[in-house]
Amino acid sequence: MKIFIAKDYEELSTIAYGYIKDIVKSNPRAVLGLATGSTPLGIYRLMAEDCAQKISYKEIRTVNLDEYVGLSATHDQSYRYFMQTNLFNKIDIPLQNTFVPDGTGDPVAECRRYDALLDTLPRDIQLLGIGTNGHIAFNEPGTPFESRTHTVTLNQSTIDANARFFQSINEVPRRAITMGIKDIMAAKRLLLVATGTNKADAIAKALKGKSDPSCPASVLQQHNDVVIVLDQGAASKLVF
Ligand code: F6R
């Protein structure tokens, strides 16, 4: 496991983007596992800037981690909308090469469809953020490490954390579809980014605590190719 502690958010984004860029340059047909949330935004900005100059995503495929149940692609808080406005519309990737779970329709059928899709798209790298409770994607504490795509009822801490994006906390969807931990672990390389002291406990538990479902991100200890990029706040409770 490689751990970088960046001096600021810009450096964190540059280090993390470097790993994605190397993959896209060495394999123009690579499959990138992507995440939503605030932390990857700097990486997506760098991807867009580089694409405007020299790096093409025309044959790249992307697979996202999760989506809210009930939100359509045009809802401004859906993860499909987030990806289009923050990345896909700013690079030259054809939209048909981008995959995000569909939050409309029958969630159970959508989970099975997504599993079948994941089986055809082995990820070269999976980008991850982490929740303050140690979640990865929407795999909340207690999720078995063997899980595949499933629907979840969001924990109160996740609803509270995501309320900042909605007009009121009542509008935050209570359910989501998420890639399971087994499929996250199937990626060749995992790249986790985290910022801020509010993530420090989760990072310490994930990287130095016992690897078990009480902290979903602690599963990363069982993967053989993991890169962690933190700012000083997120790294502040790590003891080496
Ligand atoms: C989003 C996702 C979540 C976030 C996590 C951290 O696709 O999978 O697990 O990565 O909630 O979110 P931010 O980056 O907003 O702190």
Out of 32, 82, 86, 135, mutate this one to test ligand 1's pocket (max ligand atoms within 8 Å of CB): namely 135
pLDDT at 53 over 90: no
Show the ligand 1 pocket: residues with CB < 6 angstroms. 35-39, 65-66, 129-131, 135-137
* Residue 155 CA to ligand 1 centre (angstroms): 13
Distances (CA, A) of 217 to 21, 103, 139, 181, 232: 24, 24, 9, 9, 19
* Residue 86 CA to ligand 1 centre (angstroms): 15
Q: List the one residue out of 215, 211, 199, 212 whose CA is nearest residue 228.
A: 199
Out of 36, 64, 126, mutate this one to test ligand 1's pocket (max ligand atoms within 8 Å of CB): namely 36
Distance of CA 167 to the CA centre of its chain: 24
pLDDT in tens, 123-158: 999 999 999 999 999 999 999 999 999 999 988 988
Protein residue whose Cα sits closest to atom 15 of ligand 1: 37
Protein residue whose Cα sits closest to atom 8 of ligand 1: 137
pTM of the complete model: 0.97
On whether the 2-231 domain is CATH 3.30.9.10, my answer is no
Q: Where are the domains of the chain?
A: 2-231
So which residues are the catalytic ones? 66, 133, 135, 140
User: Which pLDDT score is estimated for 27?
Assistant: 96
pLDDT at 161 over 90: no
Q: List the one residue out of 7, 4, 1 whose CA is nearest residue 193.
A: 4
Backbone CA torsion sign across 163, 166, 171, 176 = negative
pLDDT in tens, 24-42: 999 999 999 999 999 999 9
The CA-CA-CA angle for residues 144, 130, 46, to 5°, reads 135
Backbone CA torsion sign across 91, 97, 101, 107 = positive
pLDDT band at 52 (very low <50, low <70, confident <90, very high): confident
